[in-house]
Each structure stands twice: as C-alpha cells, then as structure tokens.
Amino acid sequence: MNIKQRITELHLTEGSYVVVGSGILGALGIRESSDIDLVVTEDTYQSIKQLGWKQGLRGEHIVFQWDVFDIGNDWYGEKAEDLLKKAQIIDDVPYLSLDDVYEWKKMRGLEKDNRDLALIDEYRQTH
C-alpha cells in the first residue's frame, strides 16, 4: 500500500498528523501494512468527527474509521504535536519512529508484535 498516496486522499495539512502503529514498517519495506493509523491534531480530529465516520476504539480512546484509516487524537497519552517533534520523516510523511514502534511492540507483546520485532531486528542488521 502506498501510504503517502492514501493519506493524500484525506487532504490533511502538513503538521496536522503523524502515522503511528505499524505504518513505518510498510514505509521502510519491512512488511506490508494493511491499514493506516493516524494521530491528528485536535482541530483536525474535530473536523473528521463532523464527517460522520464510523467510530471504534484504540485502547480506551475513540478513533474514527474509514476505509484503511483509523484516526485518533492521541497515542498512549501523547498528542500529535508531541509525536511530530520526534517523528521520522519518510517521503515527506511523518511516522512514529522505528525505535518508538519497537518499544511499543515490545511493551504490548502480542504474537504479531513479536513477529514484527524479529523483522525489525533483521532490518536493522542490514540497514
């Protein structure tokens, strides 16, 4: 999936979002991503809320869901503005850094996370 192209469909302004979750794995070619998790600024979140998208949960937080997108206004207590300060930029798209994703997956410890951790370790050995 071309994450940059898909995000362009949303017409988000620069500095209003960051890709979180496993998105960076797709951007770096570590493994294909099947969805796109975004954290957006509060203004953008309120604008999306008005679109009437389906609501779901990411942990205890409401996210708006459409097509491949899950859009929330925080990531484990961190707001978009804070995440953007330490984002890893790939092809002009801000991502939660590979280090942060690694730590998140290690903390969560799901079976799929353990597979991703092994893929990240393999990637780091060659890059």
Give burial (CB, 10 Å; 0-12/13-18/19+) of 80.
Answer: buried
pLDDT score of 126 more than 90: yes
Distance between CA atoms of residues 36 and 84, nearest Å:
16
Runs of H (alpha helix) within the chain: 3-8, 23-27, 42-49, 80-85, 98-108, 111-126
pLDDT at 102: 97
- Residue (of 95, 49, 101, 105) closest to 72 by Cα position: 49
pLDDT, position 65: 96
Residue 29 backbone dihedrals phi, psi, to 5 degrees? 75, 20
Q: Among 34, 31, 36, which residue's Cα sits nearest to residue 93?
A: 36
Among residues 69, 93, 70, 127, the alpha carbon closest in space to that of 17 is found at 93
- Which pLDDT band, with edges at 50, 70 and 90, does 100 fall under? very high
pLDDT single digits (tens) 38-60: 999 999 999 999 999 999 987 78
Options 3.40.50.720, 3.40.50.2000, 3.40.50.300, 3.30.460.40; CATH for 3-122 is: 3.30.460.40
List beta partners, residue 93: 90
Query: In angstroms, what CA-CA distances link 47 with 12, 30, 51, 79, 96?
Result: 10, 33, 7, 16, 22
